[in-house]
A and B are shown apart, each in its own frame.
Chain A
Amino acid sequence: MKSISIKKNFFVGAMVLVGLGLGISSCKKILDKQPETFLTTGQVYRDIFDADAAIIGVYGKFMGLAKQHLVLNELRADLMQVTDNADSYMREINQHTVTAGNPYADPTPYYSVINSCNDVLKNLKIMLADNKIKQAEYDQRYSDIGALRSWIYLQLGIHWGDQVRYVTSPLETLASAKDVANYPVVTFDQLLDSLVNFTNALPYTRPYPMGATINTGLVTNVDGSNTRRFFIDKFALLGDLNLWKGNYNKAANYYRSIMEPVLNGYDVDNANGLYTIGGDQYYQQSRQAFASVADNRDLCVGYIRFKEADQGSLIDNNTQGWRSMFARGQDNLWMQQWLWVLPFNSNFAPENPFVNMFSNSGGSYLLKPSREAMDKWNSQTQSNGFPFDARGNFTWRTLNGQPVIVKYLYNYLDASSLTPINPLQKPGQWFLNRVSNVHLHFAEAANRDGRRRLAAALLNQGISTTFDPTPGVTGRDVTNIMNTLSEPYPYNFDARNGETPRYRGDWHRNAGIRGCARVIPAAIVGDSTLSIESALLNEGALELAYEGHRWSDLVRISIRRNDPAILANAVFNKLSKDGNPAAAATRTKLLDRKNWYLPFK
């Protein structure tokens, strides 16, 4: 009797517990709490908007590399110098004596972006497989992020040489992040091979399309900027990779794609009608056009018309001429020159690092132009006979008695007084690539591919002038001159400009880098291949100083010629002219290619 009641009671008790257990556990998700301040697997990469958010995220993070990128690519080379305010880490970079703990020699920030790229690449593939995005959408986005990753790896190779870990796994779990198999060490050469193979195979190489039927959420206006030029230029990257690799023809091919913009997706919005004079808009795009002498609505060095001999009439403002390309808004002219620019906006992170680096009012003034760089500009002669290169005037200035790199400060400083408009508002831009660099690189490839004259034309005075046996004569039939049409693509340029019959070749306005800069042609002496190459290298310094190309140009050409002295001497010249006692020792050190590379932590 009692036993029955105990059993019954027990049964009742047990059933209550079972019921409760079921009640709690029946909802499978009881132990599944989803975070609300961040997203987790399953909440991302669900549709095209997520895919776009992922790409925005990668570029947002990428902007954090601006400072380190510039310090490594310019301060290690010959054009930039530390000021008295610079810390010991910058000094170490400057004289190639990096010690442990130097934050500029830490590749972690680069890998942080690479990891984000890897995550996006992996998940885009899954999204495509799951039909969450269309093939075309996938191609554009995958190629964009793939190219960005290759660009970062190229940077890693340039600075860390043979110690780069070529990580392609997204390292999603701690176990994979600790697995050494995910960190293959590659030499710079192996890295270049991998990058060329990977990047050549990307399915889409044009910029994101505008206004097409597929989603174009990535090309939009945001906070005063259009995002068209935010994304990496894949043609330029492919050209660079092949140029590094020595695939000159292929490199030239890719560069040429940029130089034929309309064919290749560089839709320059013509709606504003600003530069439609004579329908020349089309001809100017990406072609390094000559100066618009009447109104200086151009990006060349110019003077007020008919006052070319008056130094005071140099066009020096934020809306006209060469200087304006660093200051102007994203109008058509700007679009013709710039390929890749990321703007800094005071209302959003990250803060513009360049004001602090360069400005001596409102900034810390850590870096300045080297004596060597100043001498380079001062040793040029303008076509009007002035013994300087006006690009130097626009690149650096003496402000408050100190030499200041102003290229990055035109949005921060008042256009005429060159004092800060508002020291707490620090707008600016990270200049990553532009057409002049493409022309110089195309010329470098063409020169090595046996097209020395074409290379010299693009460098010096333009195709039309160079391929004209009697320049300046008018009224001729130009059918068989002013062009290289007998050459195969990518070397076939039509720069014909004549009236009977009328010719306006696509390239008739091309003036050459130096032509546009109004400096006299660089002399070609001795072995023309080497001479042209050296001139191109030097021109890069004059034209593109502090835009993050100098160190890689020096490294590439030194490697190609197997002549470490090119790089070593450049650095030596800087250090010795600035009175650094370690100049000679640094030169000796840099004669060994191994010492070009930073220690991989």
Chain B
Amino acid sequence: MRVSIQIVTCFLLATAGLSNNQLFAQTANSAQTKKTAEAQTVSGLVKDAATGKPLTAISVSVEGFSAALTDDKGRFKIRIPSKTATIIFSGEGFQTKETALRGRTDITIALFEESFNSIYDQVKLPAGDKRGTQTGLAVNSINSNGNWGRTNETTDGFLQGRAAGLNGTMRSGTPNAGAYLNIRGLNSMYTNNQPLVVVDGAIYDIGDYGSSVIGNHYTNALAMIDPKDIENITIIKDGTSTYGTKGANGVINITTIHAKAQATKIDFAVFAGVNQAPKNLPVMESADYRVYVSDLLTSRGMTNAQIQAQPFMNDNTSNPEYYRYHNQTNWQDQVLSNSASTNYYLKVTGGDNIAKYALSLGYGSNNGITDNTKLTKYNVRFNGDLNISSRLTAATNFSFTYYDHLIKDQGLTPKTNPLYLAQTKAPFLNTNEVDNVGNVSPNRADTDIFGISNPVAVIENMFNSSKAYRFFGTIAFNYKLSSTLNLGTIVGITFDKAREQRFVPRKGVANDTLPNAIADSRLAGNVKRISNLYNETFLEYNKKFNTLHQFQLKTGLRYMNATNEQDLQIGYNSATDDFISVGTGINTLRKVGGDIGKSAWINYYLSANYTYNNKWFLSYNMAVDGSSRFGQDAQEGIKLGGNSFAVLPSVSAGWLVSSEKFLAGAKNLDLLKLRASFGKTGNDDLGNYTAKQAYISQNLLGIQGLVRGNVANPQLQWETGTRFNIGADLSLFNERLTFAFDYFSNKTNKMLSYENLPTASGYLYAISNTGAMKNTGFDFSVNARVVNQRQFKWDLGLILMKYKGTLTQLPQDIITNYGGASLLSTTSGVGPASFYGLKSNGVFSTDAEANAANLFKMLPNGTLVPYQAGDVRYVDANGDKVIDDRDRQNIGNPNPDYTGAVTSKISWKSFTLDFLFTFSSGNQVYNGVRKALESQSGMENQLLSVNNRWRAQGQITNMPKATWGDPMGNAAFSDRFIEDGSFFRMKAVTLNYHLPLKPTNLIKYISFYATGNNLLTFTKYLGYDPEFYSAESVFARGVDMGLEPISKSIVGGIRIGL
């Protein structure tokens, strides 16, 4: 109560003052305008940039002052308020462009086609839509134009390589997995580093809450938006402080389709494609594998006779076991294969002067490259624009998406990941049961004598499904109180539910061991729900005085109430493999779990913008932010009504230098803008209840009691980000060459950290705001129209980004383990999350060499064992002659030096050829898959490189010997498995043939598409693919745990316009 009164009073005073001033200015200005108006005009010529021909009916205007159209010779004459005014040109089929007169009285303007990627394009900012030139912020606008060619791409995947400053890393090759998006690198270790996504004015929750019962499955919220439904995506890299503690990582503002014209327009498209299975990893065939196994068993202490007695070593065909172990199976071929995709899409737009609508329907299926995986997707959207009265308008955006995804386990689930099993399964085994005389049964073989599951049984009989839907709807009302004053409100609702079902059969899959039972079949059900309510209500004031001074003021409040819930059931040992629902498991072994997280967020904001003569842009933004996640005694911010509120102001300034008179002579200079911004932002991703004292359940036998679970931190607060950005935009030769450069320096103070507590507290750590980090870098982009002819146009673009995160304050160094890798983060320049492992220096070739090195390994029981010939020669960093964790060093950095993209678009007559190349340079990757396939410690099949293993004294090799159980840690996490993850990839190439037909025809146009995805990749990486992102955590970067790899695909389609 008191909170709102204070805030609103504050707001009232500020605005009332403004309103009075304006009153005075208003009258004075109109007189002045009259006086100057008659005196001045300017005339000029508008022509087509490609052909040089004059353009008719192009709208020419001075905002809020005058307007005109070009005549049939392309000439125009327009009144201007002053000789330094800015004139805006626009026309159907052409770009919007502005030019500052700089004292000129006769101007010639060349306009590019509408799809030209221009610096004058509209950007959609929280404070309202603007031309890209009219702001001091670092923003990019992407007009997706429907992204028709890349139909299987998710919205996040589509954004990869599209904007300087926005980095996307594909999570995996699984359909729908999408890309991990990040604006300008890391700002935090433990909170979210992904940008805020706003769709049609409301916050769109992209979190994947709770856990999945399916190995390494990610529920991607951005896959719920069909990119063909998107009109514009604006990437806001700084100046997001009005979003308060949700704006720390920038904002991606997505606007979906709306009808532009009243005439009914129908687009219908059909696509079909093929996904190509990746090239198999080169694993051993039976002959090599037998030799390997024999070496391995020797190291286990078995005699030659014992080894020869093994059923798989016996070469006597009359041996009853012979046929079972003398096959030649390429297991990777058994689980990976080419697959198909189809896609249908229908879009209808139209309406009348009261109501316009845009309706879309989509259906698609995309079968993954892993056998028996399939994604089926349905989506529908209905967007409307209503003119309810002359003052009241409304817009609705409703979308509903549903998908049904059949998937397999991925990553570190060695018993159930078919890909891993296919790599490691003994090649001499058969997919099916084989009898004593070699007859192959139609039944799939069970788990083998080595305890390894049958990958084909996993493919065929193990069942993982994720069925998810999301309803996301917003309704916005806008009431024009006067010509300058607007009152608006947006209500957004998200309902999201993902249901997972899992069944692991007993036949063909290795058992799990529970604390008190053996789990043969495993069953699970999981439901994850998100329900969010969002509202933003604002008052907006917009007024131009004297054609020079433009004020825009927006103030309002945002409120979000978020609930996410998970309910999970895990069962075991259903009666037979035909019982696959979780309820059929044994009662006593059933486990239930779940979580409920609720949070509320209130954000009061003020955004004040001032523009002087279209060339100076000043803005002040601030937010006062409260959240249920903050502790009561936050150190920063203010207290309102007993709650802690963050206060986050920012300022920005832009200067269109090119609009100044002194540059009137610079003929080839279209635009030069300098920008700077500085401000604060915050991150509220602290966990819903972290500040609170927790009493958790503790059992004593079957009675439940309560114990304290943490040390509460009432001082817990948002992470405070400081954002500094300077940038320049430069456009030359009538926009033929455009550059943008931004340097930024981000700081995060009060960074969330795990702080070690004294031993005698009884707790290991508490979560506190005791860290800090710095993140600096630059974004650079250049776009060039290399060839500009009527029939032949060629655009080339380059995006280059570099970020460097440095930890400046931590309560203590962080050593983390993730997916088999150790990661170190320190304030002394290592990290964030650098690989931290042993350094190796080849393999001891002789015992003498090993003895000379005099190195030891301590076994778990404390005995020191000397390294011998064939063992890896690790570097004894601390010089104590014992190789252990204390010898770990920084052995690689998963963060790239540079990332970026190259784009090329060639148009020739009705053909368009689009290329998108993405690259990453200087990042290291831990190849966890290769580690498993070169560890030489068990019966798992190995890579062909293992043939080069050490076998005899004096042999010089880099591959250590095969030893059962690897007691010497030859396959420990070390630089042996750290590889260069740099790559250059032809991400997409699209050929489009657009056949325009007569507008009077029923069919107005037909477009043909052919797209190739990921057709070429240049990398030294030895795994399937160097690009993946297995989890949202900072610590997951560059750790290859064996997800489904990115694959090549080809899609063809046709689009018909009615």
Q: Which residues on A are within 8 Å of B, measured CB to CB?
A: 2-3, 5-7, 9-10, 12-14, 16-18, 20-22, 24-26, 28, 30-33, 35-41, 43-44, 50, 52-61, 63, 84-88, 91-92, 106-116, 119, 165, 167, 170-175, 177-178, 183, 220, 222-223, 225, 230, 343, 345-349, 351, 424-426, 600-601
Contacts and interface: CB of A to CB of B under 8 A. Distances in A.
Interface in B702-723: 702-709, 711-715
A115 B689 contact: no
22 contacts: A6-B22, A13-B481, A14-B12, A17-B557, A25-B3, A28-B641, A31-B602, A32-B628, A33-B599, A33-B688, A33-B689, A38-B695, A39-B695, A41-B712, A57-B697, A87-B860, A88-B862, A91-B861, A91-B862, A174-B714, A174-B715, A424-B518
B761 to A, nearest CB: 5
Contacts of B516: 346-347, 424-426
Contact of B707 (A43, A52, A109, A116): A116
Contacts of A107: 759-760
Contacts of A59: 700, 705
Given A28-B1, A56-B700, A230-B700, A111 B8 contact: no
Contacts of B714: 173-174
Nearest to A426: B516
Contact of B559 (A18, A24, A52): A24
B23 interface: yes
A60 B700 contact: yes
A51 to B, nearest CB: 10
Contacts of A54: 705-707
Given A17-B8, A24-B559, A348-B699, A175 B689 contact: no
A174 B760 contact: no
Nearest to A225: B701
A579 B699 CA distance: 43
Interface stretch (B33-41, B361-369, B762-770, B896-904): B762-770
A40 B689 contact: yes
Given A21-B7, A41-B692, A61 B707 contact: yes
Shortest 8 CB-CB contacts between residues of A and residues of B? A56-B705, A57-B705, A88-B862, A21-B4, A9-B481, A111-B762, A165-B760, A115-B762
A290 B858 CA distance: 53
B711 A171 contact: yes
Contacts of A55: 705
A14 B714 CA distance: 35
A interface, over-half SS: helix
A174 B700 CA distance: 28
Given A54-B705, A54-B706, A174-B768, A13 B4 contact: no
B485 A6 contact: yes
A55 B698 CA distance: 10
A40 B693 contact: yes
B921 interface: no
Nearest to B702: A223
B693 A108 contact: no
B750 to A, nearest CB: 13
A65 B711 CA distance: 21
B703 A222 contact: yes
B485 A13 contact: yes
Given A22-B1, A87-B860, A222-B701, A174 B766 contact: yes
Q: Which of B696, B709, B712: most chain A Cβ within 10 A?
A: B712
A575 to B, nearest CB: 15
Nearest to B630: A31
B588 A347 contact: yes
Q: Which of B2, B600, B641, B705: most chain A Cβ within 10 A?
A: B705
B596 A37 contact: yes
A25 B482 contact: no
A17 B692 contact: no
Contact of B704 (A53, A84, A175, A347): A53
B698 A601 contact: no
A506 to B, nearest CB: 35
B168 to A, nearest CB: 33
B485 A115 contact: no
A173 B712 contact: yes
Contact of B762 (A14, A33, A114, A424): A114
Nearest to B713: A174
Interface in B864-900: none
Nearest to B12: A14
B694 interface: yes
A26 B4 CA distance: 8
A91 B859 CA distance: 12
Contacts of A108: 759, 762, 764
A87 B693 contact: no
Given A39-B706, A348-B701, A111 B761 contact: yes
Nearest to A350: B699
B517 interface: yes
Contact of B701 (A116, A177, A223): A223
B534 to A, nearest CB: 12
Contacts of A57: 697-698, 700, 705-707
Contacts of B559: 24
A444 to B, nearest CB: 31
Q: Which of A5, A14, A91: most chain B Cβ within 10 A?
A: A14
Contacts of A112: 762-763
Contacts of B2: 25
B598 interface: yes
Contact of B487 (A12, A86, A601): A12
A17 B600 contact: no
Q: Which of A87, A167, A173: most chain B Cβ within 10 A?
A: A173
B19 interface: yes
Nearest to B714: A173
Given A31-B627, A35-B692, A177-B757, A18 B712 contact: no
B244 interface: no
B557 A347 contact: no
Nearest to B26: A2
Nearest to A27: B1
B695 to A, nearest CB: 4
B15 A14 contact: yes
B539 A33 contact: no
B556 interface: yes
Nearest to B517: A424
Nearest to B481: A9
Contact of B759 (A30, A44, A84, A111): A111
Contact of B537 (A20, A32, A91, A174): A20
Contacts of A426: 516
A35 B689 contact: yes
B964 interface: no
A52 B755 CA distance: 32
A175 B708 CA distance: 16
A35 B688 contact: yes
Given A10-B481, A12-B487, A88-B861, 20 more contacts: A3-B23, A14-B539, A17-B8, A20-B537, A22-B4, A28-B641, A31-B602, A33-B628, A38-B695, A40-B695, A56-B700, A57-B698, A60-B700, A61-B707, A112-B762, A115-B763, A172-B711, A173-B714, A343-B701, A345-B701
A171 B709 CA distance: 12
B72 interface: no
A170 B516 CA distance: 36
B542 interface: no
A103 to B, nearest CB: 12
A114 B763 CA distance: 11
Nearest to A87: B860
Contact of A87 (B517, B698, B862): B862
A113 B555 CA distance: 52
B643 interface: yes
B757 A178 contact: yes
B16 interface: yes
A426 B595 CA distance: 30
Interface in B521-550: 537-539
A14 B698 CA distance: 52
Nearest to A344: B701
